[in-house]
Amino acid sequence: MKIKISHHIALSFAPAFAYIDNRYMTTDASILGIETSCDETAAAVVRGGERVLSNVVSSQIAVHQPYGGVVPELASREHLRAIVPVVRQALHEAGETYESVHAIAVTQGPGLAGALLVGISYAKALAFALAKPVLTVNHLEGHIHAVLLEQRQTANFEMRFPVLALVVSGGHTHLFLAQERGSGWIYENIGRTRDDAAGEAYDKVAKLLGLGYPGGPIIDVLARHGDPQGVRFVASQIKHGNRGVPREKQTAHDFSFSGIKTAVLRYVELNGMRADIAERQKQLAGMARAKAEDVLRLCDRRTLDLVASFQRAVVSDLVRKTLEAAREREARTLFVTGGVAANSELRERFELESAQEGLPVYFPSRKLSTDNAAMIAAAAFPKYLAQHFAEPEFSAEASLILK
């Protein structure tokens, strides 16, 4: 979907580009990144593509918690409220000013159209007022650059290509095969989810079991207390079929996570767990800020086993299919990134199994796994060096493709 921002803004802001010339190009440039694609309002300043001078994330979790998922209208409203103070704080923490940064990078998509528009409109307004260039970034490339950014900080500049990147979050489960091209990377999408994203499955299962929102972090903790063999899911419940999916929409390494969610639902019904879940929800709703220990106390063995078995099934599927794709496409480096990459079991399994295959695997730190703007500023840096500045009339693209 393409949404047009008022032509008035686009046209009046065009002359700003006239001021951009080579005197402003520097390999030590500070880029202000802005990210508003989902439920985090984030701003960061990154210098030279790798030094994170500030990284401010304002989370909307408390706003969406009562609904068990992100409500798009509420997300836009919260971004509007937070964007100015968040950017101001990012500049302040970085010791920079609106005038001192060299360029402004903003997420163009994919994401919620209304949420993206808040960041884009603000980036455009700043660029116009300050006569700075704007760089647009694909959110998924941002997640990939979160890994690259931190590897560069440890002086690891020796990435071997092709790189296979699994981007696994609340909105995406994508496999990209990346190659170097000029100062940037190009991508081939070789796998994606047919239905729910892995993080979405975590969030839906957590909601179903009355564990709160978001589901990933709490299931990560609870799963350690359950038996991952406790509940047996049949392979057909977690496998995808090609039925109903047009050939041109299929990729070689597709995922599917809606079956496992339905299997959890069926288990809940068959085992009469509804009353316990309702009671847990009631108790948690009465707590101001429930901690993981509070939720753990409210879970019986059967629930913990179910949670651990769900996580085992999701993690095994992600690891197996990713390594299969890596073998088939002869990937020489593996990146695992996005919110779900914060998961302990996923990290352990990838580390173990990739090592067995002699494939180096890299993750972002937990802070940079979930949505942030440092990754957006970092991903914009090669574009800045190549002077790939945005056209003034660019707009939000809810389904932007990475290539």
Q: Is residue 108 near Zn ion by the rule CB under 5 A?
A: no
CB of 37 within 8 A of CB of 109?
Answer: yes
Output the smallest distance, CB 139 to Zn ion, in A: 6
Q: Give the strands of the sheet with 361-362, arranged side by side.
A: 184-192, 173-181, 163-168, 333-337, 361-362
113 binds ligand KG4 (CB under 6 A): no
What whole-number distance in Å separates Cα of residue 1 and Cα of residue 63? 26
Of residues 16 and 44, the one with the C-beta less far from ligand KG4 = 44
Burial class of residue 251 in the structure, from the number of CB atoms within 10 Å of its CB (0-12 exposed, 13-18 middle, 19+ buried)? middle
Calpha distance 306→311 (Å, rounded):
9
With CB under 5 to 8 Å by kind, the binding choice for 343 among ligand KG4, Zn ion, none is ligand KG4
Q: Which is nearer to ligand KG4, 350 or 384 (CB)?
A: 350
Q: Is 35 helix (H, G, I), strand (E, B) or coil?
A: strand
Site for Zn ion in 288-307 (CB under 5 A): none
Q: Which residues lie across from 125 on neighbouring strands? A: none
Closest CB 78 distance from Zn ion, rounded Å? 16
**Residue 369 binds Zn ion (CB under 5 A):** no
Nearest CB to ligand KG4, comparing residues 61 and 129 = 61
Residue type, 37: S
Tell the smallest beta-carbon distance from residue 199 to ligand KG4 (Å).
Answer: 3
Residue whose CB is less far from ligand KG4, 171 or 226: 171
What is the smallest separation between the CB atom of 340 and Zn ion, expressed in angstroms?
10
Among 370, 381, 390, 398, binds ligand KG4 (CB under 6 A): 370
Q: Which of 162, 338, 364, 392 binds ligand KG4 (CB under 6 A)?
A: 338
Among Zn ion, ligand KG4, none, partner that 308 touches (CB below 5 to 8 angstroms by kind): none
Minimum distance from residue 10 beta carbon to ligand KG4 (Å): 27
Is 395 a binder of ligand KG4 (CB under 6 A)? Answer: no
For ligand KG4, which is the closer residue by CB, 16 or 334?
334
Q: What are the strands, taking DSSP E only, across 91-154? A: 103-109, 134-138
Minimum separation from the CB atom of position 169 to ligand KG4 (A): 3
Bridge partner list, 52 = 46
CB atoms within 10 A of CB 293: 9
**3-class DSSP state of 59:** strand
Does an H or E element contain 189, and which? strand 184-192
Query: Contact with Zn ion (CB under 5 A): which of 141, 150, 371, 397?
Result: 371
Tokens (6 digits) for 319: 């690891």
In angstroms, give the least distance from the CB of 342 to Zn ion: 11
**Does 342 engage in binding with ligand KG4 (CB under 6 A)?**
yes
**Count of residues touching ligand KG4 (by CB under 6 A):** 19
Q: Considering beta carbons, is residue 136 or 343 the nearer one to ligand KG4?
A: 343
Binding of residue 150 to ligand KG4 (CB under 6 A): no
- Site for ligand KG4, residues 209 to 268, rule: CB under 6 A: 214-217, 220
Best CA proximity match to 199, nearest among 338, 70, 30? 338
Non-local (6+) Cβ contacts of 358 within 8 A are none
Q: Residue 211: how many CB atoms within 10 A of its CB?
A: 29
**What burial class does residue 270 get, using C-beta atoms within 10 Å of its C-beta: 0-12 exposed, 13-18 middle, 19+ buried?**
exposed
Largest CA distance in the chain: 69
- Binding marks (x or -) toward ligand KG4, 35..54, rule CB under 6 A? ---x----------------
Restricting to residues 150-169, which ones interact with Zn ion according to CB under 5 A? 169
Buried b (16+ CB within 10 A) or exposed e, 54-84: bbbbbbbeebbeeebbbbeeebbbbbbebbe
Return the number of the residue (33 or 133) whose C-beta is nearest Zn ion. 33
Among 35, 96, 150, 203, binds ligand KG4 (CB under 6 A): 203
| Count of chain residues binding Zn ion (CB under 5 A) | 2
Nearest approach, Cβ of residue 144 and ligand KG4 (Å): 12
158-to-151, 161, 182, 183, 186 alpha-carbon distances in Å = 9, 9, 16, 14, 17
Site residues for ligand KG4, 153-172, by CB under 6 A, read: 169-171
Judged by the rule CB under 6 A, the positions of this chain that interact with ligand KG4 are 38, 169-171, 199, 202-203, 214-217, 220, 338-340, 342-343, 370-371
Judged by the rule CB under 5 A, the positions of this chain that interact with Zn ion are 169, 371
